[in-house]
């Protein structure tokens, strides 16, 4: 969440950030928070003065009693003072609850270099690779997958409804090897620690990352236990050290995890949902870093490059976009999207989003570090990124590697793991 002290000291900065994001009523939210904060602070100040006065009068009452003199008037006065202190405590409590609720609904502020505008303003940072020229009309992945016995959309829909595909035989093996390949690369070459995470988390964990309360309708929940299926392993990885104070020597922390991801995506009606393009359950390898504020911007570039390594080694043409303010995720201060070209559906498909959340998630999770022994703790910066998300990676591999006879040629890293360079009908 945003820093209340920053809102108090630099309201113009926060108003400008809300405006850049296109948040309707952003300026009014800032003023509402400032009014609540002033009410809270003035009530605390008045209560402190009344307590000091009560302490002074209490000593006076004691003196009168020792002299055998009546203190009834002062006692009555202190009862009223006590009632006023209790009332002020309720005002403070109410103001703090409203402040927290308001802050939980406010997005992160974009970094200065983030382009302004909506999706159309996303800036191309770089491209890699050349789109393959086919001597035939390339097929979409759903035709290739079913012909090769990799994919069974009909049975998946029968089991769970649309958006829950079934991978069979070599399709399941191919996805498993992709996951293993990516995890091995991040651990061995990029220095990440692999974590096996829970796939269900508490409401507090989702609130810490910013997924609740804003995106409750997009999540799957078990109502009896109030446990939530994770939309990404970013959630458990970011919560690993929730409430802790780390030492500077421990940073950076780098975690990677595979997990299935569950997203209802209630707002996706009308989107292209054929094949594997938009599903409610999918697999993903995630990267999460805990960094000092001084290194978080540099770490964003490093993590993006780590995701790009996979695409280069798989030989998949891609482009990197810097998302504009109106297209940023709720908790993101800056995001790079990696999109791969899928020739069968003739579309660029997002396969990774790499973001810095600055201290936004850390404030929600009370995730801090101590810069030096004896120094006051500060909030860490958290970053996260897909490296990479499936099944769109599978879409691009099938559609890019397809041959006219319906077979699919696999890139060398996968051919080595599978023991075969081609998938034959």
Name the strand (E) or helix (H) holding 261: strand 253-262
Clarify whether 77 is annotated catalytic.
no
Clarify whether 278 is annotated catalytic.
yes
Clarify whether 263 is annotated catalytic.
yes
Computed from CA positions of residues 61, 67, 73, 79, in that sequence, does the dihedral angle turn out positive or negative? positive
**C-alpha radius of gyration, the chain, whole number:** 27
Catalytic one among 96, 350, 404, 416? 350
DSSP output for 76-125 = HHHHHHHHHHHHHHHHHHHHHHHHHHHHHTSPPPPPTTSPPSSGGGPEEE
Task: Give dist(CA 149, CA 153) in Å, integer.
Answer: 11
DSSP output for 388-405 = EETTHHHHHHHHHHB-TT
Residues β-bridged to residue 287: 256, 385
Catalytic one among 278, 295, 297, 417? 278
Catalytic one among 40, 139, 254, 263? 263
Residue 60: count of CB within 10 angstroms of its CB: 13
Catalytic one among 40, 308, 392, 399? 392
* Residue 247 phi, psi dihedral angles, 5° rounding: -95, 155
Catalytic one among 205, 322, 353, 386? 353
Distances (CA, A) of 87 to 32, 43, 75, 81, 138: 22, 9, 18, 10, 72
Catalytic machinery residues: 263, 278, 350, 353, 392
């Amino acid at each position: 969440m945003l820093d209340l002290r920053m809102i108090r000291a630099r309201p113009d900065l926060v108003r400008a950030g809300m405006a850049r994001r296109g948040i309707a009523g952003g300026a009014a939210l800032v003023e509402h928070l400032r009014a609540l904060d002033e009410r809270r602070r003035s009530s605390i100040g008045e209560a402190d003065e009344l307590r000091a006065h009560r302490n002074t009068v209490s000593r006076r009452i004691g003196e009168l009693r020792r002299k055998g003199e009546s203190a009834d008037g002062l006692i009555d006065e202190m009862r009223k003072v006590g009632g006023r202190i209790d009332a002020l405590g309720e005002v403070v409590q109410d103001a703090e609850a409203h402040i927290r609720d308001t802050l939980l609904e406010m997005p992160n502020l974009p970094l200065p270099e983030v382009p302004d505008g909506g999706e159309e303003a996303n800036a191309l940072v770089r491209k890699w690779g050349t789109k393959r020229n086919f001597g035939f009309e390339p097929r979409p992945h759903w035709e290739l997958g079913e012909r090769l016995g990799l994919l069974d959309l009909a049975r998946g829909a029968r089991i769970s409804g649309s958006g829950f595909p079934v991978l069979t035989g070599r399709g399941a093996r191919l996805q498993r090897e992709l996951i293993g390949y990516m995890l091995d690369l991040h651990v061995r070459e990029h220095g990440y620690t692999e974590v096996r995470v829970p796939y269900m988390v508490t409401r507090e964990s989702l609130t810490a990352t910013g997924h609740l309360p804003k995106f409750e309708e997009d999540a799957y929940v078990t109502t009896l236990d109030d446990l939530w299926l994770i939309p990404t392993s970013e959630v458990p990885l970011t919560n690993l050290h929730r409430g802790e104070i780390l030492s500077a020597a421990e940073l950076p922390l780098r975690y990677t995890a595979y997990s299935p991801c569950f997203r209802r995506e209630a707002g996706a009606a009308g989107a292209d949902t054929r094949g594997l393009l938009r599903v409610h359950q999918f697999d993903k390898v995630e990267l999460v870093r805990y960094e000092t504020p001084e290194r978080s911007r540099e770490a964003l570039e490093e993590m993006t490059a780590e995701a790009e390594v996979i695409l280069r080694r798989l030989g998949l043409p891609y482009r990197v976009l810097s998302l504009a303010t109106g297209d940023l995720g709720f908790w993101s201060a800056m995001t790079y999207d990696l999109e791969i070209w899928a020739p069968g559906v003739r579309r660029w498909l997002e396969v990774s989003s790499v973001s810095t959340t600055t201290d936004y998630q850390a404030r929600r999770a009370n995730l801090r570090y101590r810069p030096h022994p004896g120094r006051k703790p500060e909030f860490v910066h958290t970053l996260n990124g897909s490296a990479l998300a499936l099944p769109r990676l599978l879409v691009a591999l099938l559609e890019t590697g397809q041959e006219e006879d319906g077979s699919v040629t696999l890139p060398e890293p996968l051919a080595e793991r599978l023991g075969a360079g081609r998938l034959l009908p």
